[in-house]
Amino acid sequence: MGHQHLGTLPRSRKWREVIELISAGADVGEVAAATSAAAENQIIDAANDPAVKRAVWLLTQIPTAARKEEFGSELRKLGLDVGDHPTLIEIVTAMTDAVDRYVGKHGGRTDLGELAQLAAVESLAAVAGRELADLFGETAQRTKAVLSGLGTVKQFGVLARDFFSRFLRRHLNYFLTRELPQHVGVNSRFHTIRELRDFEYGLDLHCREASRILKEQGNGFRSIPTKEESARLRQAALCTSRSKNCVRS
């Protein structure tokens, strides 16, 4: 994988508004909302992106598989090429490969699809990894127990929120890294690199705050989402990506 970064932002009216907001010293929320609005067509297209759909679906199904007796067999049914007693590293690697294969069969690769795929894999590794003492020393039995724990309503909400926070941050970063460095200098928005880093840290906080809607969606299910509920999660994520008005306080 390896998505393409253009040298500069497009010069449409909406993207010019993003640049103007950055130059004028607008806060993180305004810049993030304007960026998502400018990228709205890409977000709409992502609703049917095969990588987005498969990554979200696998994220919902792996905890369910961990609750079954034959964990490895259940994962293979999902398309993950693993042994009978997989570790977390094996599972996240197989998840990446499974999405790649699915995309190869069901449509072309897109940048946004790659962002969603990376976010989903990172979230599973991070949320489950926090429960494991050592990512490179965990046992298969412990991995199964931890992933099974993500099958509860509360813990799935945590996983959903972590995924969306990462997805939204990657999405904003995909565009803003082209423009923000152009605004560093004595007479610019950011006088120093540190001020730029502070702004980027604010974007991280914004994404975590925006992801609350995904935690609410996750907590609204009685168990791990069905295929239809997974689609609802995906739509909620895309909605929040393109409009700050989707975020619930």
CB-CB contact of 37 with 14 (8 Å):
yes
- Determine the 3-state secondary structure of 25 from DSSP: coil
Helix 227-242 with 50-66: angle, nearest 10 deg: 130
The pair of three-digit structure tokens given for residue 203, joined into one six-digit string: 């974007």
Handedness of CA 35, 164, 213, 57 (dihedral sign): positive
Residue 126 belongs to some domain of the structure = yes
Q: Identify which has the larger pLDDT, 222 or 60.
A: 60
Q: Convert the pLDDT of each residue in 161-187 to its tens digit.
A: 899 889 888 888 888 888 888 899 888
Q: Any long-range contacts for 21-24 (C-beta under 8 Å, 24+ apart)?
A: 22/179, 22/180, 22/183, 22/189, 23/183, 23/188, 23/189, 24/189
Q: Convert the pLDDT of each residue in 23-55 to its tens digit.
A: 888 888 888 888 878 777 777 666 678 898 899
Residue 234 belongs to domain spanning:
13-240
The number of distinct structural domains making up the chain is 1
Q: Convert the pLDDT of each residue in 122-165 to its tens digit.
A: 999 999 988 886 655 568 888 999 999 998 888 888 888 899 88
Residue 32 belongs to some domain of the structure = yes
CB-CB contact of 56 with 99 (8 Å):
no
Question: Which pTM value belongs to this model?
Answer: 0.77
Residue 24 belongs to some domain of the structure = yes
Residue 3 belongs to some domain of the structure = no
Residue 246 belongs to some domain of the structure = no
Residue 1 belongs to some domain of the structure = no
